[in-house]
């Protein structure tokens, strides 16, 4: 009998059926996906340059323009997650030696610093304690001191639960010859943002939070000012995959015939199209109000349980992700495991600089309901009772 040349056998684990348990995802993302969006993603494939797919991409563009409140021509979805959009924004805007000022009050500013340093930019940091936001005066001081060509701001700091006010920042930046780049991965659809009216030059977001779309696509838009800076580049962007010149063409933003750039994750785009459609059907204002009201109910309930909200000022609380201090004498990991094991609910601990300091509860898109607020409060009450005996 001929001996098989295979040295690695078919893995036994793969020969068993796929197992995906049911969970209520009330962490900082991803959030649960409604059946309409799941169904869209499981449609049969089409070719990535078929006219029907190009039309769906055009529909996605209009959905992003609505969600961002922008008329920018250069608006598209990146084939990647929120980090990919962050990289795309920074690597297209910055050339080696360009100065960028990054506001840091949690992990996302830290990540933007990391990405910018890899690009050879001259990076300055503007710091605030965790749980706080930047005032226009803080920012103007930094801009005047460092004279950056780009300012990076996180709208919804998901590691701390802070909502950064954006009023006046666009105008401030433009007065000092600087572009305003905003990360709205955790806030889009959950808190008001007006790209054009607020003078935001580059805005990006993700799919797996308020839009309730599986992770894998990210939204991005560039103002005319940002486009001009990119056109003035002396060097090519360091990534081919994320080169906005190529992507603009592929997404039909440059009035040239569309050329193949990469094979788009077509089914992800089907899902994204439906997520954006559902947001358009609900209306931004209703969505903002839904997140606000459920966040208020959650905060009240958490206080009633004796927990301490991490963000002191009510108006600075991110409506999509609420943070509480880890209660004295409890192990945060035990609380999280208790909710998962006994209630099939995911909540999260801190991230980066907030690790060990906070618990994070997310209510995003279809997960932002009064019923889910009651469920998570009930589960937390149970956890606080049961994990008490294991006080540190
Ligand atoms: N920015 C913010 C504010 C986020 O909350 C996240 C995801 N937690 C990201 C960026 C990165 O997104 P992703 O995990 O999809 O790469």
Annotate 229-271 with DSSP letters as a single string: HHHT-SS--S-STT-HHHHHHHTT-SSSPP---S---HHHHHH
Longest dimension (CA), the chain: 80
Q: Is 82 in the pocket of ligand 1 (CB under 6 A)?
A: yes
Q: Is the CB of 352 under 6 A from ligand 1?
A: no
Burial of 111 (C-beta count, 10 Å sphere; 0-12/13-18/19+) = buried
Positive or negative torsion for Cα 203, 209, 214, 216:
positive
- Residue 186 Cα to ligand 1 midpoint, Å, equals 7
Which pTM was predicted?
A: 0.97
Q: Best substitution site from 25, 27, 79, 83 to test ligand 1's pocket, by max atoms within 8 Å of Cβ?
A: 83
Helix axes 284-304, 370-386, angle to 10 degrees: 20
Torsion on CA atoms 156, 159, 160, 165, rounded to nearest 10: -20
Summarize pLDDT for 52-98 with one digit per residue, the tens: 999 999 999 999 999 999 999 999 999 999 999 999 999 999 999 99
User: Is 154's C-beta closer than 6 angstroms to any atom of ligand 1?
Assistant: yes
CATH for the stretch 24-30+283-387:
3.90.1150.10
Ligand 1, pocket-test mutation among 158, 188, 319, most atoms within 8 A of CB = 158
Instruction: Measure 369 CA to ligand 1 centroid, in angstroms.
Output: 22
Instruction: Name the band, by pLDDT with cuts 50, 70 and 90, for residue 171.
Output: very high
For the purposes of burial, counting CB atoms within 10 Å of the CB of 9, is it exposed (0-12), middle (13-18) or buried (19 or more)?
A: exposed
What local confidence, expressed as pLDDT, does residue 1 receive? 66
3-state helix, strand, coil in the chain (%, to 5): 40, 15, 40
Q: Which residues contact 39 (CB under 8 A, 6 or more apart)?
A: none
Mutate to test the pocket of ligand 1, among 159, 185, 265 (most ligand atoms within 8 A of CB): 185
Q: For residue 148, what are its two tokens?
A: 């950056």
Question: How confident is the model over 289-316, as pLDDT tens digits?
Answer: 999 999 999 999 999 999 999 999 999 9
State residue 379 phi and psi, 5-degree precision. -65, -40
Q: What percent of the chain has pLDDT over 70?
A: 99
13 is in an annotated binding site: no
162 lines ligand 1 (CB under 6 A): no
Whole-number pLDDT of residue 391: 46
pLDDT, one tens digit per residue, over 178-214 is: 999 999 999 999 999 999 999 999 999 999 999 999 9
Closest residue to atom 9 of ligand 1, CA basis: 82
Task: Please tell me the distance from the alpha carbon of residue 205 to that of residue 349, in angstroms, as a whole number.
Answer: 22
Where do you find CATH 3.90.1150.10 in the chain? 24-30+283-387
Q: How far apart are CA 186 and CA 376, in angstroms?
A: 20
Length of the chain counted residue by residue: 392
Per-residue pLDDT at 124 exceeds 50: yes
Q: Is the CB of 183 under 6 A from ligand 1?
A: yes
Q: 175 and 206 in contact (C-beta within 8 Å)?
A: no
CATH topology of domain 35-281: 3.40.640
Do 370 and 22 form a contact (C-beta atoms < 8 A)?
no
Beta strands at 179-183 and 162-163: parallel, antiparallel or unpaired: unpaired
């Amino acid at each position: 009998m001929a001996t098989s040349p295979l040295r690695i056998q078919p893995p036994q684990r793969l020969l068993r059926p796929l197992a995906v348990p049911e969970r209520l995802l009330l962490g900082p993302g991803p959030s649960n996906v409604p059946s309409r969006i799941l169904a869209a993603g499981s449609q049969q494939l089409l070719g990535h340059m078929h006219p029907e797919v190009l039309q769906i991409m055009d529909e996605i563009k209009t959905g992003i323009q609505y969600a961002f409140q922008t008329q920018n021509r250069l608006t598209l979805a990146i084939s990647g997650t929120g980090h990919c959009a962050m990289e795309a924004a920074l690597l297209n805007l910055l050339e080696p030696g360009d100065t960028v000022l990054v506001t840091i009050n949690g992990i996302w500013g830290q990540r933007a610093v990391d990405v910018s340093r890899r690009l050879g930019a001259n990076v300055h940091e503007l710091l605030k304690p965790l749980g706080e936001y930047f005032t226009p005066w803080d920012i103007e001081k930094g801009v005047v001191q460092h004279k950056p060509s780009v300012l990076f701001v996180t709208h919804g700091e998901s590691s701390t639960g802070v909502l950064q006010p954006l009023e006046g920042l666009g105008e401030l930046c433009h007065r000092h010859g600087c572009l305003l780049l905003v990360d709205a991965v955790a806030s889009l659809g959950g808190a008001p943002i007006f790209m054009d009216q607020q003078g935001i030059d580059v805005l990006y977001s993700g799919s797996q939070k308020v839009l309730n779309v599986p992770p894998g696509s990210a939204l991005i838009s560039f103002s005319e000012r940002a486009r001009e800076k990119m056109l003035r580049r002396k060097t090519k962007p360091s990534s081919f995959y994320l080169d906005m010149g190529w992507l603009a063409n592929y997404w039909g933003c440059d009035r040239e015939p569309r050329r193949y750039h990469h094979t788009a994750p077509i089914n992800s785009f089907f899902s994204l199209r439906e997520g954006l459609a559902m947001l358009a059907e609900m209306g931004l204002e209703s969505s903002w109000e839904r997140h606000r009201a459920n966040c208020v109910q959650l905060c009240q309930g958490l206080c009633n349980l004796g927990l301490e909200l991490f963000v002191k000022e009510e108006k600075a609380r991110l409506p999509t992700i609420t943070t509480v201090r880890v209660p004295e004498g409890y192990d945060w990991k035990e609380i999280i495991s208790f909710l998962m094991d006994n209630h099939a609910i995911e909540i999260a601990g801190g991230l980066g600089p907030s690790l060990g300091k906070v618990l994070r509860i997310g209510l995003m898109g279809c997960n932002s309901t009064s019923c889910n607020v009651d469920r998570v409060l009930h589960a937390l009450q149970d956890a606080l009772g049961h994990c008490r005996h294991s006080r540190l």
